[in-house]
Chains A and B, each alone.
Chain A
Amino acid sequence: MAEVEFDQASRIYTAGAKPAVNRLDLEIADGEFVVLVGPSGSGKSTALRMLAGLEEIDGGQIRIGGRNMVGVPSRDRDIAMVFQNYALYPNKTVGENMAFPLKMRGVPKEERATKVKAAAEILGLSEYLDRKPRALSGGQRQRVAMGRAIVREPQVFLMDEPLSNLDAKMRVSTRTEIAAMQRRLGVTTVYVTHDQVEAMTMGDRVALLKDGELQQFATPAELYDKPANAFVAGFIGSPAMNLFTLPVSEEGVRMGSSELALPRSLRSRITEAGLSTVQLGIRPEQWTVGSNGDGAGVKAQVDVVEELGSDAFLYAHLDDGEQTPVVVRTGGRSGARRGDQIALTPTSEDLHLFDPSTGERV
């Protein structure tokens, strides 16, 4: 068990091109579960593979337990990895697959058998130990891959989208199992996914990457409540946060023909930053829906209603001349219909403000 540090770590695949991972700084505590998330091509896998020793570290350092890993081959890093396609050894049985890392480290045969048996017990694989991987279901293969990683009690677990080959239901249940197992074993874990729900539900902390650059590294709650920039704000949360670029006015901002009053705290932040336009972020649940007649709020017309049972999402467009789309969450059975005219008022206080030129949080 160990802490993991990325210290200005970079990976440049082709000289002259933009680095796939650019000066990444992460400090991961011992026993922590950290999720790397980001859109496709953001460098999540590359960062993980640098930690695994499968990709060169072209700049900076990566340290495991304080030891610099530059130039250290994978097999000497004492880490275990679960691959997206599991990478089980097709000619070995489940038991042999799980015993392989122990065998490579010279663990005696009886001890291997005991450890594999114990791991198989935990993962519910006991009856499959003599089968070849090809005779297993996707979910079982996934477990074998997990088993091969845990038998060895490594310092760090690495997982690259280990759930993406499972069906939706399996993904949700396995997600919980992996998180629970990690807490129980207390092994430092770095987990890559492009699914923000996985990131938010599994990680102690989440690192959000975009184009090889770290956007924010924080707890899920902080990422949601205090996104560091407009990109994070738009990426985390489903449906995504509504982002509007609006001119600043006396009382707040102008939204189409109406004026949206902002609380004093937000207004003073805008003046401090000296902005004449501002990017305002409002989450779908940060609206109150009123009827069109009572004068208050921004007018909008409902295009689509998604009833999810407990909630409903209204996809509407504003009457601001540009038909700006907006998403609103209401309680279930909202009664709203397509074509309804509604008036939207933000439930103020903790709205999000970003500098429109840099995207940084104000």
Chain B
Amino acid sequence: MAAPTTTERPATPSTQDLAPARKGRVGASLLTVLAWIVGIGFFFPILWMVLTAFKQEADAYTTPPKLFFTPTLDQFRAVFDAGIGPYLLNSLFATVVSTILVLVLATPAAFAVSLRPVKKVQDVLFFFISTKMLPVVAAIVPIYVVVNDIGMLDNIWTLIVLYTAMNLPIAVWMMRSFFQEVPKELLEAASMDGASTARSLREVVLPVISPGMAATALICVIFAWNEFFFAVNLTAARAATVPVFLVGFITSEGLYFAKLCAAATLAALPVVIAGWIAQNKLVQGLSFGAVK
């Protein structure tokens, strides 16, 4: 940055010219340091959780904390013995099915509020997002009553319906912003070429916004996987999910910290994997190549 300025005006590289550049450089390194601090601040608890998961319960409670210890898989074994398996399956099922449902429903909805705008788009969009304005706590009692009345308590499909409803507004908004990036000439070209609306959506638009869909799917997966409130209130033995299982580890007697960390590590793993898979799509970015 500074080099071209000085070569352009070699005669008088006055201090006024250099001062902002130096200030900029100092500012940049401060920002870098800050970014590292924030980054480590975020990462450290996770690192600590993973480390603790490999400790014996006794090691997990020492002050000052032990950095060097003999790693063990005992806690993971204990977690599996406690029966995390069915909970993992429930979480997986609820997450995958609800995410698929959300994408299937949100894609045409987002299409209708972006590329092929219906009437009163603003009102429709506000309606979608307004459903997220009521705190879940306020809705849980009526939901509980309804679910109870139709005999769907402790049923995984109840969670699937709720997770779909919970993620749908966000997904529509996200997908809409990706759709809006698509040049409308692409759709027009497709319709000239003889494609029906459904066909041009499938063959032309969706491949273009697939990174956006990946991002949307990832968000839905994370929200559904981590959801606790509905799960704890509406499920019991059969349909409970991993977050409910985690809480079960917090007991009043005995040491549970390392075991909890091991369970939490296991619970976090699928999300990390999903993120890693989605990342391949995400980094491609929305590629319009020839049209933009």
Q: How far is the CA of A75 from the CA of B287 in the complex (A)?
A: 26
Interface residues of B in 107-133 (CB under 8 A from A): none
Q: Which residue of B lies closest to A154 (CB)?
A: B192
Q: Are B194 and A101 in contact (CB under 8 A)?
A: yes
Select one of A90, A100, A152 contacting B208, CB under 8 A.
Answer: A90
Chain B min CB distance to A65 (Å) = 17
Inter-subunit contact B191/A75 (CB<8 Å): yes
Nearest Cβ in chain A — how far from B117, in angstroms? 15
Nearest opposing residue in chain A for B196, CB measure: A75
Q: Please tell me if the beta carbons of B193 and A134 are within 8 angstroms of each other in the complex.
A: no
Known: A83-B185, A104-B199. A90 touches B193 (CB 8 A): no
- B194 touching A90 by the CB < 8 A rule? no
By a CB distance below 8 angstroms, the chain A residues around B204 are 89
Q: List, in ascending order, chain B residues with CB within 8 A of A85's CB.
A: 183, 185, 291-292
B192–A52 CB distance below 8 A: yes
Q: How far is the CA of A132 from the CA of B208 in the complex (A)?
A: 13
Q: Are A87 and B189 in contact (CB under 8 A)?
A: yes
Among B183, B189, B195, max chain A CB count under 10 A is at B189
Q: How many residues of B contact A (CB 8 A)?
A: 23
Measured between C-beta atoms, what is the minimum distance from B216 to chain A in Å? 18
Interface 0/1 of B172-190, CB less than 8 Å to A: 0000000000010110111
B193 engages A83 (CB within 8 Å): no
B11 lies within 8 A of chain A by Cβ: no
Question: What residues of A have a CB within 8 angstroms of the CB of B287 in the complex?
Answer: 90-91, 134
A182 at the interface (CB under 8 A from B): no
A90-B290, A91-B287, A133-B290 given; A81·B208 CB < 8 A: no
Q: Which of B194, B208, B290 has the most CB of A within 10 A?
A: B290
Q: Is the CB of B208 within 8 A of A91?
A: yes
Which of A79, A91, A92, A101 has the most chain B CB atoms inside 10 A of its CB? A91
Contact check, A73 vs B191: say whether CB atoms are below 8 A apart.
Answer: yes
Which residue of A75, A86, A134 contacts B195 across the interface (Cβ within 8 Å)?
A75
CB neighbours (8 Å) of B189 from chain A are 81, 83, 87, 89, 148
Which of A80, A88, A135 makes the CB contact (< 8 A) with B291? A88
Could you jot down 18 A-B contacts, CB within 8 Å? A52-B188, A54-B188, A74-B191, A75-B191, A75-B192, A75-B195, A79-B192, A85-B183, A89-B203, A92-B207, A100-B193, A100-B195, A101-B192, A104-B193, A104-B195, A104-B199, A132-B289, A132-B290
Binding site for B on A (CB under 8 A): 52-54, 73-75, 79-81, 83, 85-92, 100-101, 104-105, 132-136, 141, 144, 148, 152
- Contacts A81-B189, A87-B291, A90-B288 aside, 19 further interface pairs with beta carbons under 8 A come to A53-B191, A75-B192, A80-B193, A81-B188, A83-B189, A85-B183, A86-B290, A88-B290, A90-B208, A90-B290, A92-B207, A100-B190, A100-B193, A100-B203, A101-B193, A104-B194, A133-B291, A134-B289, A141-B290
Chain B residues within 8 Å of A, Cβ to Cβ: 183, 185-186, 188-196, 199, 203-204, 207-208, 287-292
The 3 closest A-B pairs by CB, nearest first: A134-B289, A133-B290, A104-B194
